[in-house]
Amino acid sequence: MKKLHILYTAFLAAGVFFLLLACASKPPVLDRDGQPLTITDYEKIAQKEFDEQHYQYAISAYEAIIENYSDNKNALAWAHYEIGYCYYTMKEYDRAEQYFRKVVNEYQEPAAKKLAQEMLDKILEK
């Protein structure tokens, strides 16, 4: 009976291991043969990852926008806002605040600035 219990426990542990392995997510692919994706592609990846609560992967996609499209100020403003929002969602308010402040202080995109200020106000309320 003891051998059966040990065998059952081992089988159960293996099942849990494979279930966890199957549920593990892989980081998104953020380039094509070493070339950057489009801003829209990065945004789609980031939204998918955010929706699946893979916030670090969403942040990576927004960071790819910052890295690859440094001349597009509107895209930079929104990427910084969205990174801040990811950190806010993860309850990392200090990090979120840094990104929201950057949007408010460094970019001219009115909608991004307005939303970033609203998020800063929410953080200050906490």
- The per-residue pLDDT for range 65-89, each reduced to its tens digit, is 999 999 999 999 999 999 999 999 9
CATH of the domain at 57: 1.25.40.10
Task: Count structural domains, the chain.
Answer: 1
Higher pLDDT, 5 or 49: 49
CA 116 – CA 104 distance, rounded (Å): 6
Tell me, yes or no, whether 58 lies in a domain.
yes
Question: pTM of the entire structure?
Answer: 0.81
Tell me, yes or no, whether 93 lies in a domain.
yes
Residue 48's pLDDT is 98
Tell me, yes or no, whether 10 lies in a domain.
no
Tell me, yes or no, whether 65 lies in a domain.
yes
Tell me, yes or no, whether 20 lies in a domain.
no
- The per-residue pLDDT for range 19-39, each reduced to its tens digit, is 444 456 789 999 999 999 999
Tell me, yes or no, whether 19 lies in a domain.
no
Residue 57's pLDDT is 98
| Number of Cα atoms under 13 Å in the Cβ half of residue 14 | 6
Residue 3's pLDDT is 59
Structural domain for 35, as ranges: 26-125
